[in-house]
Amino acid sequence: MNDVLPAETSRWQEVERVARQVFALYGYREIRTPVVEPAALFARGVGELTDIVTKEMYVFEDKGEDLLALRPEGTAGVVRSFIEHGAYVEGPQKWFYGGPMFRRERPQKGRYRQFHQIGCEAFGIAEPALDVEQIAMVSDLFGRLGVQTELRVNSVGDGNCRPAYLEELRGYLTANRDALCGDCKDRTERNPLRVLDCKVESCQPVLQKAPSLQDKLCPDCRAHFDAVRVGLDALGVAYRVDARLVRGLDYYVRTAFEFSSDALGSQSAVAGGGRYDKLVETLGGPPTPGIGFALGEERLVMILQELEKSGRRPAMTPPGPEVFLVSADPKGAAEALRICSQLRKAGIACDFDPRGGKLKTQFKQAERVGARQALVLGDAEVTSRQAKLKDMATRAETPVSLDELVAKLARS
Ligand code: HAM
């Protein structure tokens, strides 16, 4: 779990600003749900047998003896809220959210136990055009941030075609059991689809020859996936079909997608999502199709940082104050406080050091906080109402009347 220090927050704010801008353009509105939900919500929603639920959730009993969990992802809580507030009666909804999620994973670069997601969930539309629009939106968002990603898409089928495929896959994996790693052996029974996701080198020969769900899709899933592809092509969104893209959450049907970046090392997924047309029903609501995704904010911020380091993106330094008031004596300090108050009322960022002290030290501080200009205030300046504005970069000084300072800075 990380602290995000002030030197880093401007990148976070930029990601959030651009995300909000893009979501508004596509008609998504913000929802905020609690960080804590009943643990059972995730077992039913995300899946009893997923790694997230079996191994990674922070679960605790509260004083009322309810079993609660820190949310490991956002979708289940948003769906709960959608149902609880009867939002389905109003027709289709497009919502976005952001905030901390918690998974007790083995930490490594790009993988943390508290991490932040920004995500979207769209309810009430089963048509593939929505899948296309949402995937294109994520691509648009990354494009605006100057981040290059690879998009992979797949169809994970549905209740019609997946069960027969899972049986076939399980049979194949069981026949090749000896060549699989321990995790894959375990998953063959519990969650065979996830075996396709295994990255262990020694499993690859078996996995490459495994039956592909792409070949077993029922006509409706086939037609849906083909329409998604046609739509993405029409919008010029580049992608690769990856028949082994299965995702780690059980609620997906049909479309699954993931955006990854090679700037990230082994944890390369920067966003992932897909359709979940049965989830609302599973969690007690009326049958309502849905599709969503979430992006990992830490990972996106890491990419921005890489781009800055290699000069492909301007460095993000938060803007410093327009002016730093340096006080030469107690009279100057009192005046500095008064002028700062006036400047701030006029919307001009400024600062001063109430401790006063050596002028040189105060100038150093002005430099450290990134002030554009400095102005020395002492008894002489307060009495004459005249002072000098010093440009911190060029060292050039301009005389200024203290009574006109606010107006002058407001104009510049
Ligand atoms: P997910 O693939 O589990 O999907 O997570 C989405 C993104 O969150 C990942 O691509 C990754 O960038 C980031 N992420 C996940 N775990 C960590 C971690 N431990 N540390 C840092 N970043 C992480 C979901 O959570 C689904 N709820 C997405 C969704 C929404 N599907 C439909 N609607």
- Please state, in angstroms and rounded to a whole number, the distance separating the CA atoms of residues 192 and 173: 8
> Which 3 state secondary structure label does DSSP give 155?
strand
Pocket mutation for ligand 1, best pick of 153, 252, 299, 300 (most atoms within 8 Å of C-beta) = 299
Nearest to 254 by CA among 219, 280, 281: 219
Could you tell me the pLDDT band of residue 319, with boundaries at 50, 70 and 90?
confident
Which residues form ligand 1's pocket by a CB distance below 6 Å? 73-75, 103, 105, 111-112, 115, 117, 119, 121, 248-249, 269-274, 276, 292-296, 298-299
At 157, list the tokens: 């089928």
The protein residue with its alpha carbon nearest to ligand 1, atom 20, reads 111
CB 104 within 8 A of CB 53: no
Does 228 score more than 90 pLDDT? Answer: yes
Q: Is the pLDDT of residue 317 over 90?
A: no
Residues near 193 by Cβ (< 8 Å), separated by ≥ 6?
156, 166, 169, 246
In 3-state terms, what secondary structure has residue 398? strand
Per-residue pLDDT at 378: 96
pLDDT at res. 5: 95
pLDDT grade, residue 64 (50/70/90)?
confident
pLDDT at position 195 is 94
**pLDDT value for 129:** 98
> pLDDT above 90 covers what percent of the chain?
92
Give me 143's structure tokens. 């494009």
CA of 8 from ligand 1 middle (Å) equals 21
Q: What is the pLDDT of residue 52?
A: 94
Residue 249 alpha carbon to ligand 1 centre in Å: 10
C-alpha separations of 69 from 18, 53, 74, 106, 311 in Å: 30, 10, 12, 18, 42
pLDDT tens-digit map of 68-83? 999 999 999 999 999 9
Structure tokens at 110: 């790009």
Question: What residues does 118 pair with on adjacent strands?
Answer: 98, 295
Tens digit of each residue's pLDDT (9 = 90 or more) over 89-118: 999 999 999 999 999 999 999 999 999 999
Q: Considering only CA atoms, which residue is closest to atom 15 of ligand 1?
A: 296
Counting ligand 1 atoms within 8 A of each CB, the residue from 33, 115, 137 with the most, and so the one to mutate, is: 115
From the CA of 384, how far away is ligand 1's center (Å)?
Answer: 62
User: To test ligand 1's pocket by mutation, which of 111, 116, 117 has the most ligand atoms within 8 angstroms of CB?
Assistant: 117
